[in-house]
Amino acid sequence: MSDAQTYSSDVAFTPAVKQIQTRKGSREAYADVEAHGGWRTEIDENLGTFLANTNSFYLSTASADGQPYIQHRGGPKGFIKILDKSTIAFADYSGNRQFITQGNLSENPRAHIFVMDYAHRQRVKIWGEARVVEDDPALTRSLMPQGYRARAEQVILFRIAAWDTNCPQHIPQKFDAADVAAALAARDGRIAELEAELAALKGQPAPVTTS
């Protein structure tokens, strides 16, 4: 957080934003948040658990002249690693080789991470600065999820300046295909168990099931 910022939320609440908040009647509520310490700046247990269960997020960067760009990042749960109380990192997999994110970070380190958990209708916004690490094979290997079929090209380190959550309003509830498949398999297994129990009570052979 720069010296010009009084509160952690100033990373997003610029003077222009605060003027609009005042005009539209929300500044008093956010001023109360500021008076009680503002947004969180370190990874606590809740954020750590949330990130550990994340398999997808969006990374926003901007060029030196302010042109924004958003790119998806994904991997198995746990691919985002917590290095310390204010730093997260992940292996950056080889993709379409446009390198827009890396180019932006080379001239403007400010970045933003937006994580959406559709199943639980939760979202987390993280402001900070990011940099690309290309010359640390050991770090890259340590961040690569075991058994994941992707090629790690480099690492992105993200230093957190502030983070906040949003209410679930207007978030549609969606579920990952793998989670749905697991739930259906558990249901089918339970149905088979109940059918076998019912057949035993009736003195009939248990039904034959196929997987």
Longest pairwise C-alpha distance within the chain:
79
Same domain, 204 and 117: no
Please return the burial class of 166, using the count of CB atoms within 10 Å of its CB with bins 0-12, 13-18 and 19+.
Answer: middle
pTM of the model: 0.84
- Residue 157 identity (one-letter amino acid): L
Phi, psi of 180 (to 5 degrees): -65, -45
pLDDT in tens, the chain (211 residues): 444 678 999 999 999 999 999 999 999 999 999 998 889 999 999 999 999 999 999 999 999 999 999 999 999 999 999 999 999 999 999 888 899 999 999 999 999 999 999 888 999 999 999 999 999 999 999 999 999 999 999 999 999 999 999 888 888 889 988 889 999 999 999 999 998 888 888 876 666 666 5
For residues 158 and 180, membership in a common domain is answered with no
User: Where residue 80 sits, what CATH number does that domain have?
Assistant: 2.30.110.10
Domain count, the chain: 3
Could you tell me if 77 and 132 lie in one domain?
Answer: yes
Q: Is residue 196 domain-shared with residue 113, that is, in the same domain?
A: no
Residues 196 and 108 in one domain: no
User: Do 88 and 133 belong to one domain?
Assistant: yes
Residues 154 and 87 in one domain: yes
Domain residues for 13? Answer: 1-38
- The count of C-alpha atoms lying within 13 angstroms of the C-alpha of 127, restricted to the half-sphere facing its C-beta, is 16
The reply to whether 55 and 141 lie within a common domain is yes
The 8-class DSSP code of residue 144 comes to S
In this structure, the answer to whether residues 23 and 96 fall within a common structural domain is no
44 and 130: one domain?
yes
Pair 161, 208 in one domain: no
Q: Across the beta sheet with 81-84, what order do the strands follow? A: 68-74, 56-62, 110-117, 122-133, 152-166, 87-93, 81-84
**In this structure, is the dihedral angle defined by the CA atoms of residues 199, 200, 201 and 202, taken in order, positive or negative?**
positive
| Pair (137, 88) in one structural domain | yes
